[in-house]
Amino acid sequence: MPAARPETMGEVARRIGEAGVNIELACTTVGAVRLVLGVDDLDKARAVL
């Protein structure tokens, strides 16, 4: 997914949620545009992204 669009985080969260995966934590980094997510089923989350 492109990182330069404001709606990207919402799209990621929607895909993960529709797969039945819970996002347990989320944080961003300073300087670079990066999003770190902690999920309850990493394999499922990777499969939908």
What pLDDT shows up at residue 8? 83
Q: How far apart are CA 26 and CA 17, in angstroms?
A: 14
pLDDT score for 11: 92
Q: Quote the pLDDT of residue 3.
A: 53
Three-state secondary structure readout of the chain:
CCCCCCCHHHHHHHHHHHCCCCEEEEEECCCCCCEEEEECCHHHHHHHC
Domain boundaries, the chain: 8-48
Give the pLDDT confidence of 1-34 residue by residue, as tens digits: 555 677 888 999 999 999 999 999 998 877 777 8
pLDDT of residue 38: 96
